[in-house]
Amino acid sequence: MSGEAGKQQTVRDSGIITKVLVVDNSAAEQLLEGELLKRSPGITAVYASQGSEVLGVIQEFAPDVILMALPRSNMNGLELFEEVRNEYPALPVVLMAADGGDEGMVINALKSGAASYLPKKTLRRDLAKTLQNVQVLARKERRKQRLRGYLTQTEASFVLSNDPTLIQPVVTYLQEGITRMRLCDEAGCVQVGIALHEALLNALFHGNLGVSSELREMGENLYLELAEQRRRQLPFRDRRIYVKARTSPSEAVYVVRDEGTGFDVASLPDSTDPANISKVSGRGVLLIRTFMDEVTYNRTGNEITMTKKRKEPDEEKT
């Protein structure tokens, strides 16, 4: 293999772009942009003007990334970008804008899914690096998307100290699991997160620290002050929260266990009674039972198992 051929193979193996579609309605600008791309070994460029030909070139050329110039002043300048995004949502688009261009248009395009943005005056310095970074990240995401079709189950386990700041990161991690499995829509994912958050709060404050809901009814400050004191006292400070999660395309099962003394499960408030909605105590359990499909406790009352099942479209409408 020749030195140049070996260099090009190395470029391809490292994840750097090999095919770039340059979209610019200025022939002179296209020439400049093409010359800059040629400086990066292994890159092949093809060109199109702003217009209907772009989608045809994408279909024929199958580029790794699009380098698209925004018009200087055109209220409809994002129409082509939006059309490309709608037809090829996984194809990264890097925007170029000349001096005096519409900054609002750039911001709107970035919010709508553009991968990056370059002022034309910085192309010589930043073009190669920007394209490389965008393509490496895009290829990683495409690999993830491909693998998701083969993912059948994930499991996770956590052992947490009595630190309230750990709760939200754990909830976010577990939400990502149901998103990967496409178990529910965005609203359902939020509800699962709320239920998990409440279960972990209960395990920490009521379970491990033994702070009662009745004290919270008397005042939030009293409740939090006692909790903070017990976080430093034996036996409370050495207790842990155990979290297990098993997620599949059909359901997600979460088990949260604390090391407290437990409680009488029969004393839980009735979540169907409207009188309980306004109460501070029992609110968490009400939310958990409302947002999860199945909720059970162990005999001691220090472990809760929550299940969220996939709902088919017809079920969600009913």
In the predicted model, is pLDDT for residue 8 greater than 50?
A: no
Domain tally for the chain?
2
Which domain range does residue 140 map to? 3-144
CB 3 within 8 A of CB 27: no
Closest to 131 measured CA to CA, from 62, 226, 64:
64
CATH of the domain at 179: 3.30.565.10
Strands 241-247 and 154-160: antiparallel
At residue 197, the pLDDT reads 92
In the predicted model, is pLDDT for residue 169 greater than 90?
A: yes
| For the chain, percent of residues with pLDDT exceeding 70 | 82
pTM of model > 0.85: no
Which pair of structure tokens corresponds to residue 229?
């004191």
274 pLDDT band, cuts 50/70/90, is low
- Same domain, residue pair 173 and 306: yes
- Same domain, residue pair 179 and 250: yes
More confident residue, 151 or 5: 151
- Segment 192-208 shows an average pLDDT of 94
- Segment 163-173 shows an average pLDDT of 94
More confident residue, 252 or 56: 252
- Same domain, residue pair 237 and 130: no
pLDDT tens by residue, 118-131: 888 888 888 888 88
44 pLDDT band, cuts 50/70/90, is confident
pLDDT tens by residue, 242-258: 999 999 999 999 999 99
Could you tell me how many helices (H) and strands (E) the chain has, helices first?
A: 12, 10
- Same domain, residue pair 193 and 289: yes
What is the DSSP-derived secondary structure letter of residue 278? T
Instruction: Please tell me the distance from the alpha carbon of residue 6 to that of residue 35, in angstroms, as a whole number.
Output: 22
- Same domain, residue pair 175 and 31: no
- Same domain, residue pair 15 and 48: yes
96: exposed, middle or buried (Cβ count in 10 Å: 0-12, 13-18, 19+):
buried
